[in-house]
A and B are shown apart, each in its own frame.
Chain A
């Protein structure tokens, strides 16, 4: 599994692993939306955006926060996100489908992406990060 849920009583703590930084960001997005929405499948929706931050940890937090914002205001349930990182900037094209209450409810609403303990580390296999979501 590229991401796993770690034990956290009050909120949701997820460990993401990937061989590349681009992959780590994509997997983190996938983990977040798998938590939020049941029964996702690809659809015809697409949202693109670019971001810069002071460091890559902050960039990951801002990237997930932006997806959270877009999902809510545009009514999109994202299934995957293509990420292209250049230093501490990124461009992203996220794909998904329109929110359908009948199908998508049953997940856990995420209120925010916490910065608590969020630190991207290098591992033998690539990269790893733990992300705590406020739910």
Chain B
């Protein structure tokens, strides 16, 4: 599986220059010996391919949930010099700013006496599944404002709290956004979909905090043992998918224009500062802002449901944090003792900035950024904190989830959706989905154990475990 790779640390492996022709830097990835057994050869090759791109700094990286994707591997992280480096949609993916957020509540499990009704109410309040449309009628001006202002647009329009904004990565808005670079097609797709959850692996999950491992950080994050919280996982919907499709085509032309040799057409790219590179960054940031507004609106709808069930004020359900896991951003990092502005791509990877970073909320300055790692349906999710080690080794990045071990087809062959629903129900986990097939695709057996992936990032020091969150119920598209 790992032929040609060298173990260079407890959980750290190196892919040497020369693994594929044209590599400019080595690859590095983080895995336990057990997880190393599950890595596809294609994923390592993709990691090596990224190392051939111009201006890549230090290493082409992959987190412990590394997977064979397209362009970059899933779990891939790469930083590029602002002057000599490139930006590539293959390092972000189609679902721009797919991300996850965690919202705390003061409720205990004992207070959730009507759990099935609560899950049902959430399922009906939040548009879920393929083909669902938002109840909101946006004008094209609204969409422009949303793409420009991100989560702040939603809060200004009554969907959420001012304090939510500070608790989003980038405060829920990338300032590089340029709606002018977003095509009419992308707008047509985005207009009816704001505030919708989507389908596939996207979800809203009701959870309980079962195991606090870092009381100080948990206190700072507002998480208490035995309390109920909810997690939202979704992205930029059709708008982001179309931005990726449109700009890949434009960047394919640019790749030739700037004489960049690429080993995979999905790695189409352009210099970060070129007109084509700037256009993609502007459109991608606009889609990222749309995704933040989207998660903000879903949060508001869910809070409204909780309010009607438990008489809570929205302020009693604070946003712990919101992280993006498919995005390219301009960030400052220290490389060989020098501060550099870099274009950091994270594809299926989470930012995990350490303590005292300028880019995290003041309340979290001493602990480091909250990192949210969703488990698969029916398995535990984790709240972690960012570290200085991540700043030094991975440009402040960590894993984004458990990572699949079975294809969707294999998962569907393994068990029927109805059976999985019953098995989970016996464990007290209620699943509500638009169809049983969605449940079968996302079966718990289809994923690596989240505990193992989290153990690796913890032991590698890329982020440290704060709390474990057990599922109580989930809604899925």
Chains A and B bind each other: yes
The chain A residue sitting closest to B75, CB to CB, is A10
B16: interface (CB < 8 Å): no
Tell me, rounded to whole Å, the shortest Cβ–Cβ distance linking B448 to chain A: 10
* Given A5-B409, A9-B406, A58-B252, residue A109 in contact with residue B67 (CB < 8 A): no
A12: interface (CB < 8 Å): yes
A132: interface (CB < 8 Å): yes
In this complex, how many residues of chain B approach chain A with their Cβ under 8 Å: the count is 48
Residues of chain A within 8 A of B238, CB atoms compared: 72
B67 touches A9 (CB 8 A): yes
B438 touches A106 (CB 8 A): yes
Chain B 411-457 residues near chain A, CB threshold 8 A: 434-438, 441
B245 touches A38 (CB 8 A): no
B129: interface (CB < 8 Å): yes
Chain B 456-477, CB-CB to A under 8 Å as 1, else 0, gives 0000000000000000000001
* Given A7-B407, A72-B189, residue A108 in contact with residue B441 (CB < 8 A): yes
Residues of chain A within 8 A of B69, CB atoms compared: 10-11, 116
- How far is it, in angstroms, between the C-alpha of A9 and the C-alpha of B68 when the chains are bound? 7
B132: interface (CB < 8 Å): yes
A104: interface (CB < 8 Å): yes
- How far is it, in angstroms, between the C-alpha of A36 and the C-alpha of B437 when the chains are bound? 12
B180: interface (CB < 8 Å): no
Residues of chain A within 8 A of B252, CB atoms compared: 58, 115
User: Which residue of A7, A107, A117, A135 is within 8 Å of B264 (Cβ)?
Assistant: A117
B60: interface (CB < 8 Å): no
- How far is it, in angstroms, between the C-alpha of A105 and the C-alpha of B407 when the chains are bound? 19
Residues of chain B within 8 A of A8, CB atoms compared: 68, 407
Chain B 27-57 residues near chain A, CB threshold 8 A: 40
B227: interface (CB < 8 Å): no
- How far is it, in angstroms, between the C-alpha of A11 and the C-alpha of B69 when the chains are bound? 7
B242: interface (CB < 8 Å): yes
Residues of chain B within 8 A of A11, CB atoms compared: 69-70
B1: interface (CB < 8 Å): no
A132 touches B185 (CB 8 A): no
* Given A10-B67, A72-B189, A112-B245, residue A107 in contact with residue B130 (CB < 8 A): yes
User: Which residue of B68, B130, B189, B245 is within 8 Å of A109 (Cβ)?
Assistant: B130
- How far is it, in angstroms, between the C-alpha of A75 and the C-alpha of B241 when the chains are bound? 17
Chain A 31-77 residues near chain B, CB threshold 8 A: 36-38, 57-58, 62, 65, 69, 72-73, 75
B173: interface (CB < 8 Å): no
Residues of chain A within 8 A of B152, CB atoms compared: none
Chain A 100-122, CB-CB to B under 8 Å as 1, else 0, gives 01001111110111111110000
- Cβ-closest 10 pairs across A and B: A116-B70, A112-B94, A106-B435, A114-B70, A111-B94, A116-B266, A106-B437, A115-B265, A109-B199, A115-B266
28 of the cross-chain contacts (CB-CB < 8 Å) are A9-B68, A9-B406, A10-B67, A10-B404, A12-B407, A12-B408, A37-B130, A69-B242, A69-B245, A75-B131, A101-B129, A104-B130, A104-B131, A105-B130, A105-B434, A108-B441, A109-B130, A109-B199, A111-B94, A111-B241, A112-B245, A113-B245, A114-B70, A114-B71, A115-B252, A116-B70, A116-B90, A117-B264
B→A interface (CB under 8 Å): 40, 67-71, 74, 90, 93-95, 129-132, 185, 188-189, 198-200, 238, 241-242, 244-245, 248-249, 252, 264-266, 268, 403-410, 434-438, 441, 477
